[in-house]
Amino acid sequence: MQILIHFALGLLFGAGLILAGMADPAKVLNFLDVAAIGTTWDPSLMFVLGGAIAVTFLGYRHVLRRAAPVFGGQFHLPAPAAIDTRILIGPAIFGIGWGLVGLCPGPAFVALGAGNVQAVLFVAAMMVGMWAARLLSLRAARTPARA
């Protein structure tokens, strides 16, 4: 049952990405191309983010008033932390890759399911990159910090 709900939520998330236009790298790159404002710039992505944040902001306020999630356990929320170099370096690297191809992780899986051969290459490389970063960060967490 819980597995099925996870699958259904992935479907909903993915269908939202497709309807929003995020699954087409051209649309993403046309949004990021701010030098083309006034010509081929496509501001649609601001509406995607706006719609997603509006619903999530209101929904979270409601949901997080509960004592626990429906299926038990606890709410897993990142603890507030200071802004360190990692929260800047990671996204800086991510942004370069996003700008090169026009795919971020969610749309990459959707493009894979749509049968794009380009997405096969991209997702394979993405999973290697993700795995490497996780192993490195687990190792960093085990090693005592040096000044």
Partner 1 sequence: MTPTEFTPIASLVGGGMIGLASVLLMLAFGRIAGISGIAVRVLPPYLDSEALGRLAFVLGLVAAPLLWLVATGAMPVAHFAAGPVLLVAGGLLVGFGAVWGNGCTSGHGVCGLSRLSTRSLAAVATFMATAIATVFVMRHLI
Check binding of 146 to partner 1 (CB under 8 A).
no
Q: Which of residues 32-61 bind partner 1 (CB under 8 A)?
A: 32-36, 40, 42-45, 47-57, 59-60
Task: Give least dist CB 37 to partner 1, A.
Answer: 11
Structure tokens at 103: 């795919």
Cβ contact 30:40 at 8 Å? yes
Cβ contact 20:48 at 8 Å? yes
Out of 37, 132, 139, 146, which residue is the one contacting partner 1 (CB under 8 A)?
132
Check binding of 65 to partner 1 (CB under 8 A).
no
Out of 37, 138, 141, 147, which residue is the one contacting partner 1 (CB under 8 A)?
138
Cβ contact 79:85 at 8 Å? no
Structure tokens at 101: 């191809």
